Amino acid sequence: MARRRFQSPKPFKEGQFWWLRVWDTNLAGSRKRQRIKLALAGMPVREVQKIAEEKLRPVNQGLILTGSAMNFDDFVTGTYIPTYLPLLSSNTQDSYRGVLSKYLEPRFSRLCLRDLTRLTIQQYFSGMAGKVAHPTVSKIRDALSSILRAAVDVEYLNKNPMEGLRLPLDKRARQPKPTITPEQFHNLVELVSEPYATMLSVSVWTGLRVSELIGLKWRCIHADSITIEERYSRGDWSVPKTQASAATIGVSPEVITRILCLKTLSVKVRAGRAMRTHKLVKSAGPDDLVFQSVQTGRPMNDQNILKRHIQPAARKMGLPFVNWRCLRTSHATWLVQAGADPKSVQGQMRHSRVSTTMDIYAQIVPTAQRRALEQLAEFAKDATPDARSNSRSITVQ
């Protein structure tokens, strides 16, 4: 970056406002003039000069980098989109592009980066209360924070102004994450055809995320375990979600046997008036997928499987809430119901923290609540006055 120089320009009046011209230097070393709006034209000169001094002080002292004078829209289109956005997954890229065009650009496109202060951003999000759904507010926060982190990374800002941001309260009713019982699961599998029934079984008995399930390869299948190495989601191959997610987990032999049976199965698919037979596993080499598209052998689309095969069967059973997340949550819940210790459940779910497993995925079940209440009743019963008097009388005798 070019050397910072002391600046002391004089305010000038143009149209209905007082303006100030300052030099802006970017990382490439090029310098150009930027105009800053100071006040309405009717304000006295002395007051305008005071405002100008306040604007120039952080620039001259290095508290605000000169690159922060760049326009928000110019930074997004010239730096963020070509340099930083491609580093994210395709789903995240699509989400951020939608947020940019609908929410961020209409509000911030004309502002300089340094104008996005913590107060300005907090006012923007506070104004969404009751007007924008909370999940959308969270997406807007994530997208804007990603942009400002990039501005910090290229040294256009010293600090991300979104640190400490407070979002509007989420006033939606709190509902536990849905789970299904083992009996419901077995009935559901009976209604789903192969290879999707096997995908259901592997998902609920291993707790794999759907992206890990679709990206599973034959070299990852062992005699009594499965290794998670990659994940696939709608066109993108990537590493597992966290460091803890890349692990080998134990799997019952029955599940492994069911996976291996896919190599011998074929299905008939209607093609117009004719019926065509397709092998479920076109090729079973070490680098080939375990779950392949029935017709092409390519990676599957999780949403297509859910909408065309799993959810229609679940709705027949009166379970409209069943999705991939529900299956993973059910796996953790069943482990807790079976008496597994929290640390083992954490290892099976491959979470970095045991609190994530127990607070989010392992749902409290009525049976466990009843057992806890029975223990509480026994404790209270032993502490009643009658019980204490009886114990004293026994002691005296």
Tell me the C-alpha distance between 320 and 324, whole Å.
12
CATH top-level class for 182-323? Answer: mainly alpha
pLDDT of 339: 81
For residue 4, pLDDT over 80 is answered with no
Share of the chain above pLDDT 70, in %: 83
pLDDT in tens, 331-381: 888 888 888 878 888 888 888 777 776 666 655 555 565 566 567 677 676
Q: Please name the amino acid found at residue 5.
A: R
Classify 249 as helix, strand or coil.
strand
The reported pLDDT for the residue numbered 210 is 92
Q: Report pLDDT for 343.
A: 81
- Please state which of the ranges 95-104, 220-229, 309-318, 360-369 shows the lowest mean pLDDT: 360-369
pTM flag (> 0.95): no
Helix crossing, 342-349 with 324-337: angle to 10°? Answer: 160
Q: How far apart are CA 216 and CA 208, in angstroms?
A: 10
Residue among 357, 309, 325, 356 at smallest CA distance from 179: 325
H helix or E strand, kind and range, residue 334 = helix 324-337
Phi and psi at 41, nearest 5°, equal: -65, -25
C-alpha distance from residue 348 to each of 179, 251, 326 (Å): 17, 10, 16
Cα separation, 169 vs 158, in Å, equals 29
Burial class from Cβ neighbours inside 10 Å (0-12, 13-18, 19+) for residue 391 reads exposed
Region class of 88: left (phi > 0), else alpha (psi between -120 and 50), else beta: beta
pLDDT score, position 27: 44
Digit-coded pLDDT (tens) for 271-281: 778 888 889 99
One-letter amino acid of 306: L
* Mean pLDDT, the chain, whole residue set: 84
Residue of higher predicted confidence among 396 and 211: 211
What average pLDDT score do residues 38-49 get?
Answer: 90
Instruction: Kindly report which listed range (108-122, 157-171, 267-281, 356-370) carries the lowest average pLDDT score.
Output: 356-370
